[in-house]
Each structure stands twice: as structure tokens, then as C-alpha cells.
Amino acid sequence: MRFYEYESRRLVERAGIPVTQYGFCKSADEAREAAERIGGPVVVKSQVLVGGRMKAGGVKFADTPAEAAAHALEILELEISNHMPVGVLVDPKAEVEHEYYAAVLWDGRARRPMMLFSDMGGIDIEQVAEEHPEHVGRGHLSNLHPIADFQAKETVARCGMTGSDLGKASRVLAALARLQRDYDMTLAEINPLAKLSDGSFVALDAHMEMEDEAVGRHKKVLTELGVDLSEPREMYEPSDFERNVKAIDAADHRGVIQGKDHGFTGNIGLVIGAGGGSLTLTDAVRNQGGKPANYAEIGGNPSVSKSCGLAKEILQKDGVEKIAVMMSIVSNTRVDIVARGVIKACLELGKDPGETIAIFRIPGAWEDEGYKILDKYGVEYADRSVSMWDAAGTAVAKIQGGGA
């Protein structure tokens, strides 16, 4: 779950990290009032869940409350990457002496949180890490032990900071680490963390992302922060395909299906599952020259109708020529049920299952029954002796060869 900047600021403030006297506004009049309260030059920033606000004209500077109101009126009507703002944030134009970067994120490879700190803030951290690695400090945290301030201090010191600045920046990073843990954040980022002309450190911008499964645990806090839990927090507007698959999944409690097609324009429809197996299979298709039309997840023993619904949605996507039905070895999903579902989808759309299903590679529970059904309709299938890589290659070869 992604947070708007103003919500992230509230979380940062709640964690005891200093912030500026900002105001979240939903109208030009509110922006004028916020600028009057601040009493000086301000920055008016669009509140959207995507980046590139500055380039798109979603960040403007104002010297007077009237100018702030005029900018707010423009920004509130400005669409950025298909996103309309939920409001604007009015922030004082700070007298910045130096900008830093501070973040705590979940390191999937190490399976524990990682602190990041850089004395080159205000720009893309990936660029800094690539071009100036000596300016990025890293430090991993334990999943079991409490967070100690000295761990943050060691991370910050790796960038060469010393003296009182080291202490101030370390306290911010330690507080950010506790925020990340307390609220199950996959990312807690402050960029920039600014040192002002008076020597104080404040968060000028923040970016937070919470683990989706943790939202229910934090409903009370999220409600207190004014987070609208009914609002979809997607990076892009869901497609008809994604909405339809979500509706099919919600209509039947048996099993789970998911479908994504943002950025996919290929001709091979994928009915795949097993979590990491879905990623592996998608990569296997791509790395062998195939062009997936979608990403999918199917598992947890979905019903015939649910399997059929996912397959039908995929088959009706523009450009899809065949589907590949593939998973790792399954124990919690019946092979015969998935087979019935995808064959039913083909028949209901007037397609020959043997011609439409490029490969069926789901070994596991009830596989013998499933293979009998596939044999009946002339569908080529692969058992557990065939790797997922080879099964994906078979599907790609059939598409590229134009035959069954």
C-alpha cells in the first residue's frame, strides 16, 4: 500500500522526526490560508502516487498566498501519468544548507530490513549508488532484536559524517527504522532529509509503502491519519482485464486467482501459479524469445468456474494466440480441476483446446485424472520430468512456429 506524501509526512511526524509546518489542501482557498499561516515563500506540490511531479508541472514555488492559491488551482486540475491529485501540499520554502537521503527498506535477498543513508540527497539514490558508491552507507537490522541507535550511527558514519551532524542524522535514521518495523513498511524513505541554515535536520519529503497484508493490523492508526482505506492505491489505473479477474476472484471463495497485464503486449497468454513459480515461468517465456500477454497467479485449489474465468479473460485479450498453463508441482491445487477449467474456457469461446493450449504443465495432486481429460481433448501436457524452463520453451516454439 502506497502513501501520499502528506500521509507519509504524518507518519514521519508521528515517529518523532522533525518536519516543516506544511498544510494539506483540497482547494485554492485552503492553499491560500496555509500559505498565510506559514508566512513566507512556499512550495505547492501535487499529491499523487507517482513520480515525476516536478517535470510534469506538479511542483510550483510561490512568494505570496495569492500566488500559492493560483498554483494550487492549476495543479488540482493537472493529471500526472493518468493520476489526478487528491490535493496539494503547501510547504515552506526552506533555507537548506545540505540535503541527505535516509531510508529503511525490506531486503528480500537478506530477508531483513536494511538501512540506507547518503550525503547526496535530493536525487535518485540508484544513480548515487551507481556513480558514487562511497557516498552510500548501508546497514542491516535484525528481525528479532530491538533497534539500537548505534546501528544507525554506524550506517551514517560510513558516509563520512562526524560531530553533531552525525548524532542528529543518526537519530533520524534510527527513528525511521522503528517506523519501518512498527508499521510493517516495505519502504520508509526521506528524500531529502535537509540540514537547514540553523543546523537543524528536517524531513522535506517522505515516501512510505506498507505491506498489503499488514493493512488490517494498522487500521486504527491509518484511520487516525486520515487514510482512505477504500481507495485503490495502484501506480496505474487497472485495466478491464485486471478488474474482471479481480471480480471473478471475489465472487468465489475457493482458491485464488490474480491477473495483471500492465506493460504486457504479447501473444502468449499465461495461466500460471505458485508464487515464485509465476515469476520463474514468466522469465522462462521471455528469456526464450516469447512475449507474454499477461502475468497471473492461480492456486489454492480454485473451482472449475474460477479457473475457466481466468482462462477466458486471458484468451479474450487482444493479440493472444495460445495459452500456456504451467505450475510447479502442486499439492494444494487439483490438476484435474484446472484442466477442466481451461478446457471449458476454450470450448465456451468456440476454440479447439488442443490447438489453443500450447502446453499444460501442472504435475501434482490428481494429475492422472487431469491427464486423462487433457488426452481426451488432444492437449499436449508435460509431467514432472519436464522442467518449467522446457515447458515454457515448448509454448514459445509453438507460437513462433505457428502450429500445434
pLDDT at 402: 63
Mean pLDDT, contiguous 10-residue spans, the chain (404 residues)? 94 96 97 97 96 92 98 96 93 95 92 94 86 91 91 94 95 97 96 95 95 90 88 77 95 94 94 87 97 96 97 97 96 97 98 98 97 98 97 96 63
pLDDT at 133: 87
CA distance 346 to 404: 15
CA distance 21 to 62: 16
Give all domains of the chain, ordered by start, each with its CATH number. Answer: 21-92 (3.30.1490.20), 96-224 (3.30.470.20), 240-401 (3.40.50.261)
pLDDT at 118: 95
- Let me know how many helices (H) and strands (E) the chain has, helices first: 15, 15
pLDDT at 245: 97
Q: Where in 165-219 does DSSP place strands (E)?
A: 185-196, 201-203, 206-210
Distances (CA, A) of 78 to 48, 56, 62, 347: 10, 9, 17, 46
pLDDT at 51: 85
CA distance 241 to 231: 19
